[in-house]
Homo-oligomer: A and B are copies of this chain.
Amino acid sequence: MGKQPKSAISPTRAEDYPEWYQQAIKASDMAERSPVRGCMVIKPWGYALWENIVQAMDAMFKETGVKNAYFPLFIPLSFMQKEADHVEGFAKECAVVTHHRLEKDASGALVPAGRLTEPLVVRPTSETIIADAFSKWISSYRDLPILLNQWGNVVRWEMRTRIFLRTSEFLWQEGHTAHATQAEALERTHLMLDIYARLAEEVLAMPVIKGAKTAAERFPGAVDTLCIESMMQDCKALQAGTSHFLGQNFARASQIKFQTADEQEEYAWTTSWGASTRLIGGVIMTHGDDDGVIMPPRAASAHVVLLPIFKKEDERQAVMAYTDGLARELRSRAYYGRHLVVEVDPREIGGARGWEWIKKGIPLRVEIGAREIKENTVFLGRRDKPHTERSALKREAFVAEIAGILDDIQNTLFARAAAFRKDHTVEIADKGDFYDFFTPRNLEKPEIHGGFAISGWCGSAACEARIKEELTVTIRCIPFEPTGRQEACIGCGKPGTCVVFAKAY
């Protein structure tokens, strides 16, 4: 294959995937660790991607009748306790507010003062406080359904954090709905999962598997948790969104009752569903290459950067005029529901400039110099192709076809990710093969392993727990498709159903 091309990120993915991830983020200037334990600073280039994800998701939610609302950041301790599984699930990671002012002690040091009679938990999720509101708002079947969503921040105290993937504070949306019937609540649970799948595949170019979690992996307090699972380039799974059917659990805990049309009193059926800034981590790990981040065009922080080149000072004016004119023209065009976002970078810093934009993952780089003006062309680099592969295009053709070029990149990224997943998804019926599949080939790099194993599972928590214990492999989901294929349990050999096993983030 000849010599390896120069790589912008060190180490490469093959050398050290977790470190590549950190370095790719650093090089892209999307985010950084903050001085607050486990919290991150999302910088403008990363936040713009989040804004585009938010906009796309928000529109999809609203199309289904969901409206946005906002509930308090703080949850009284007594609310957390209402649902036994729920508090059990979150107790170990709650930030607790115990005081409401600061004062100076004898030594002049600032200390907490004004102790609260009831401590407040910074929301790790808002089921309990929203259920309390629902219990006041709902009295008749006429008040149902209630379809709400909240955009906000939550805190889950994490001991081992990784930027975007697992941080103590993260941004997310949490949807909460209440229904008169189980069937309607179940339908909503699936509808929202479908939206997450559509977002992941159509907007973020991340192929996902839809399925249900096992009891062990369910949301604390849920009857059923549905999820989308995506494969990263180290073959680990990333849970990219979850939709929970809560049954009447939270309704019972918070007394969400309503009178039916025939005047019976019943508990409402509720759902909740969430997706977070973790998706950004998923985008980076799905598409990034050894040159850094690659942003899928439909969600990219910007679509194209124009890089004017003037070798002689007297070329500057003409090149800048051509560049600015092209920028104006492009900005008036739309792609996937928003105006094209065009960056112009006239800094005279040599080759570092192009590399910066490659590492940021912008879909298109356009160089403009005296030659382009003369020939009325642009010199185009696509982020989905090797950075050395660039080509001239007539300016008019470029402007006319840019949406098509962006969609071509979008499709390439999806196809590449789908092919990668296919290559690393194996049906395994033999227990020995299964253990081999998940045993690191290189003991110095335990993160490199097989991928997704489609294997039988008898349904017992014991088999699931043993595999998790021995291999740190979990059942990512009981996939909706193919439905219920039978296969002997990989753990005990008893009759079972096919599920997706993998290591996971």
Contact = CB atoms under 8 A, between A and B. Distances in A.
Interface string A55-75: 000000000000111111111
The contact size tier of chain A is 35 or more
Given A67-B44, A101-B91, A35 B96 contact: no
A399 interface: no
A325 interface: no
A445 interface: no
A96 B96 CA distance: 8
A41 B97 contact: no
A100 B91 contact: no
A130 to B, nearest CB: 9
Interface string A81-99: 1000001000111111111
Residue from A69, A77, A102 having most chain B Cβ neighbours under 10 A = A102
Nearest to A58: B51
Contact of A72 (B100, B121, B169): B169
Given A73-B155, A74-B39, A155-B73, A112 B100 contact: no
Counting every copy of the chain, the complex holds 2
A70 B171 contact: yes
B74 A102 contact: no
A417 to B, nearest CB: 27
B74 A169 contact: yes
Contacts of A155: 73
A68 B81 contact: no
Contact of A67 (B47, B75, B112, B153): B47
A370 interface: no
Contacts of A344: none
A36 interface: yes
Contacts of A102: 77, 80, 87, 91-92, 94, 96, 121
Interface in A136-158: 148, 152-153, 155, 157
A68 B44 contact: yes
A70 B31 CA distance: 9
Contacts of A39: 72-74
A75 B72 CA distance: 19
A426 interface: no
A102 to B, nearest CB: 4
A112 B120 contact: no
Interface in A100-134: 100-103, 110-112, 114, 119-122, 129, 132-133
Interface of A: 34-36, 39-44, 47-48, 50-51, 67-77, 79-81, 87, 91-103, 110-112, 114, 119-122, 129, 132-133, 148, 152-153, 155, 157, 169, 171
14 contacts: A34-B72, A36-B72, A41-B69, A42-B69, A72-B169, A77-B110, A87-B110, A92-B101, A93-B101, A94-B102, A96-B97, A96-B102, A97-B122, A152-B153
